[in-house]
Structure 1
Amino acid sequence: MMSENNILLKVDNLVKLFPIKKGSLFSRNAGYVHAVDGVSFNIYQGETLGLVGESGCGKSTTGRTILQLYPPTSGSVWFNGEDLAVLQGKKLRQKRRQLQMIFQDPYASLNPRMTVAQIIGEPMEIHKTFQGEAKLKRVRELLELVGLNPTFINRYPHEFSGGQRQRIGIARALALEPKLIVCDEPISALDVSIQAQVVNLLEDLQQKMGLTYLFIAHDLSMVRHISNRIAVMYLGKIVELADRNELYADPRHPYAQALLSAIPFPDPFIEETRKRIILEGDVPSPVNPPSGCRFRTRCRYAKEICSVEDPELKEIKPGHSVACHF
């Protein structure tokens, strides 16, 4: 599965900076927010890559920049052999059919003035894939696929619960039969009882339709359940990338170790003996990140070299890469 020929998406040194404007009349740049700063990874056909990290580390910006919802500052995003970062207009629109997104907030991502038929049918209208009665038939099929009653097509979003709304969002993402779906924290706004249902639905759809996911989340136990490999992100950079079982059994980066130590264990005896790693201090500002290693200000192993040299993401054994001097 994980061969060079099987790479669906290749992100290479992706950078996204947001300018900070000062002054109301003649606004000038007063600096940049380093949201994504030199991120590289591959996603293979049919796999799920989990992207984890605490709030504000640049996970969602990475997902949106891959889809060109934000134009990248530099770097490339190769999808099926074409660099999305240089495509524009009609060519980019055609490629976008194969890349879709499921948004975090099911309450904000659906237009309250549109019916379910209009919401799910809109991508088909824009790309002229189905029209008229064929489009309504396709909408009903998609509703059934995500576990909703096909007779709901004339209802409005306010008539549904959060979990049902997210299913409508998933149906909309599937409308153009994409190859890659960016799931931007698709369960974080839902009740815990509904989260597992939505994740199971995503897994079923992946098997049925051969989908590939970039699954962005901060719930580490859920990411382990759905992902094949996991990338850990800190302040705009990927600090560790490994197979899910390998990462959970043997995390090498101090940040990944701290994150994984926070996951509760169901056995009370084991939980009592486990040692929590509490990180000191707050996450530094992405406007003025620390020199050298981004994590050094909170790292218990930090030495002189960490403040001078930014560690490269290096493979320490097959399929397991870490960005740490030690």
Structure 2
Amino acid sequence: MTTTDAQSTPKPVKDGGELLSVDGLVKHFPIRKGLLQRQVGAVQAVDGLSFSVKQGETLSLVGESGCGKTTTGRLLTRLETPTSGKIVFEGRDISHLGEGKMRPMRRDVQMIFQDPYGSLNPRHTVGKIVGAPFKLQHVKTEHGVKRAVQELLELVGLSPEHYNRYPHEFSGGQRQRIGIARTLALRPKLIVADEPVSALDVSIQAQVVNLLEDLQDEFDLTYVMIAHDLSVVRHVSDRVAVMYLGKIVELADRVSLYEHPMHPYTVALLSAVPVPDTKRRTNRERIRLQGDVPSPINPPPACRFHTRCWKAQEICKTIEPPLVQLAPGHQTACHFPENATPEQQATAEAAAKS
């Protein structure tokens, strides 16, 4: 076996091992104008992300609309090709693989789309939609495709009798279950879920979230969950990455992030989460950020949050804060982190100078 063949062969991941890693991931969409379609700028949708996902865990990406969450998900599934950076899945660099080489990888990396209405072909029956992965990947089933599809429908809480029905005959929650069944057809190892419950009624959201958790336990799935509902994120996540204008500003385990947020943007987001306890709600300060989110075409220099941050100082406008570990498993990109001890503040200052 040549060196190239060895590098391109996926390596089995041990339980709790690193399934996916991202290093310096960048995606800029060019802006072209004129008769010759010359590039006059670029939308900096994702600008230098680095993180990893362990087998069996759920990493959630959160942030305001337009921060680059969905683009990141599409990069991880290679529905988009990165401008630069590296995506490594099971030890194999898939950043710039062609369609032919990516086809076998599609079995292991799948995506649940946000819109349960637009992600299903209205001209196809449920059986054809859920059975498509078997046909596209030339996968043989023990008792035929129809039987496999009906078993998948039962798995996600639908009836095998739905096999010959069309998407328009189902509710939003049922359509999302059909999409989940299609995603599970080839038993993937990694699932990128792009706001899987945001388009559903509140009464249905909990059902779908519980279904995803049950499936994760049963099939040892790994999730990258894209969401903006911080209440849902707290329920399903092991770790949470907070994004702002294409960058990760804070990355920590769920408990640490919700109880001791360090980046001012995270503090502001959490202050907006509804609290059912009236006493806690009365005592909590609601932080309202001033101004709109800057354009990703021309983001602010250095710290991208400094135009809306109440702690911003001159250094925030000139030096970009690196994403550094200020507590065990808790990374923050801020010169003046919230809830920081003197030692953590010193660490942030030293990182900015290095």
Whether these two folds match at TM > 0.5 is: yes
Matched letter for residue 120 of structure 2? L
- Asked if 1:286 is matched to 2:286, the reply is no
Kindly, what percent of the aligned residue pairs are identical? 63
Alignment deviations for residues 61-112 of structure 1 (CA, whole Å, 9 cap, x no partner): 0000111111000000000000111322322111121000000000000000
Residue aligning to 2:177 = 167
Residue aligning to 1:104 = 114
- 1:6 corresponds, among 5, 9, 17, to 17
CA distance in 1, matches of 2:142, 2:328: 52
Alignment deviations for residues 186-243 of structure 1 (CA, whole Å, 9 cap, x no partner): 0000000000000000000000000000000000010000000000000000000001
The alpha-carbon distance between structure 1 residues 237 and 103, as it changes in their structure 2 partners (threshold 3 A), is same
| 236-245 vs 133-142, which moves further | 133-142
**TM-score, normalised to structure 2's length?**
0.89
Residue aligning to 2:59 = 49
- Asked if 1:144 is matched to 2:154, the reply is yes
- Asked if 1:263 is matched to 2:273, the reply is yes
- 1:74 corresponds, among 58, 79, 84, to 84
Following superposition, the deviation at residue 21 of structure 1 comes to: 1.3
Following superposition, the deviation at residue 4 of structure 1 comes to: 11
CA distance in 1, matches of 2:15, 2:33: 46
Contact 1:125 1:131 in 2 (8 A): no
The alpha-carbon distance between structure 1 residues 46 and 5, as it changes in their structure 2 partners (threshold 3 A), is closer
Aligned residue for 2:213, secondary structure, equals: helix
CA distance in 2, matches of 1:113, 1:165: 14
Contact 2:21 2:53 in 1 (8 A): yes
- Asked if 1:127 is matched to 2:133, the reply is no
Matched letter for residue 69 of structure 2? K
Following superposition, the deviation at residue 132 of structure 1 comes to: 10
Contact 1:17 1:36 in 2 (8 A): yes
Following superposition, the deviation at residue 130 of structure 1 comes to: 2.9
Structure 1: which 5+ runs fail to align? none
- 2:196 corresponds, among 171, 175, 186, to 186
Contact 2:23 2:50 in 1 (8 A): yes
Alignment deviations for residues 260-298 of structure 1 (CA, whole Å, 9 cap, x no partner): 010111111111111011101100000000000000000
CA distance in 2, matches of 1:127, 1:230: 33
Structure 2: which 5+ runs fail to align? 1-13, 337-354
Residue aligning to 1:219 = 229
Aligned residue for 1:266, secondary structure, equals: coil
Residue aligning to 2:349 = none
Matched positions, count: 323
- 1:302 corresponds, among 296, 301, 312, to 312
- Asked if 1:158 is matched to 2:168, the reply is yes
- Asked if 1:177 is matched to 2:187, the reply is yes
Aligned residue for 2:133, secondary structure, equals: helix
Residue aligning to 1:16 = 27
Aligned residue for 1:12, secondary structure, equals: strand
CA distance in 2, matches of 1:191, 1:231: 25
Contact 2:15 2:56 in 1 (8 A): no
Following superposition, the deviation at residue 27 of structure 1 comes to: 1.1
CA distance in 2, matches of 1:207, 1:135: 25
Residue aligning to 2:50 = 40
CA distance in 1, matches of 2:101, 2:42: 30
